[in-house]
Amino acid sequence: MNVIISASDLAVELAGAEPPVLLDVRWQLTLATASGEPPFDGRRAYEEGHIPGARYVDLDRELASEPGPRGRHPLPDLAGFGAAMRRAGVSAGRPVVVYDGGQGWAAARAWWLLRWTGHPDVRVLDGGLPVWEGARETAVPAPGEGDFVPAPGPAGLLHADGAAALARSGVLLDARAGERYRGEVEPIDPVGGHIPGAVSAPTQENAGPDGRFLPAAELAARFKALGASEDTEVGVYCGSGVSAAHEVLALAVAGIPAALYAGSWSEWSSDPRRPVAVGPDPR
């Protein structure tokens, strides 16, 4: 099954008799700055113009729980997540397409959550809203009447102990920027470095300058060089389980199944008893 869709193919499907449910998940990680600029407001961006028919989904409130010991973007309460998806019109028997502002991280988070909780047909708009050449609208659709009920499967999710074990028995990819992996800088979490045994694999290297994923063959070659293939047990983490979802999506494009450590480094580093490795060497 395809996990991404081009803007041209999406336009065709939206004009068809049974268009997919369309979710707008625009979001940006905003760090405090000396300028005091207000944080990015995804809902305001949505209300200023979105693909016709799309409904807005708030990553921080609907695709995650409150920050805490389980990380900065812990998994959402399943009942609340299901209710949010039903309001957005999501039904088990209808395809879903998710997009964001172009980075792909937030859309991938929604894609991963829906797939992990049992939706059979979810795709991400490759390149996000910037590649969309069709009309945009400001009208906000009425709440949907979907029937989707989350039912997580037994695979696809890692917790801290499972991530540590996978770093020894399989391949655990760290999707953060290389300098954070090496522990040279850490702008957000308590300590820099990486989970011992994890391999540096910045998610930014999975896409081109326009935000579209590299061709599947190129992604497969990249991951193979990192030790990951369809015959390997693979897991991914990042800072808080958002950009890692984008890497899980890239792996899926390459035909490689992978699990997500949702708590990621923000959970791992919050416990001083957990080991931390620094430098370029995985160990």
Q: Tell me which residues are annotated as active site.
A: 238
State which H helix or E strand residue 235 sits in. Answer: strand 234-237
Q: Count CB-CB contacts under 10 A for residue 154.
A: 5
Q: Give one DSSP letter per residue of 133-201, joined into a string.
A: -S--B-PPPPP----------SSSEE-HHHHHHHHHHSEEEE-S-HHHHTTS--SSSSS-SB-TT-EE-
Residue 117 DSSP label: T
Q: Is 96 buried (19+), middle (13-18) or exposed (0-12) by CB count in 10 A?
A: buried
Count Cα neighbours of 272 within 13 Å in the Cβ-side half-sphere: 1
What would the two tokens of residue 112 be?
A: 């991963």
Residue 51 DSSP label: S
Q: Do residues 237 and 265 touch, judged by C-beta distance below 8 A?
A: yes
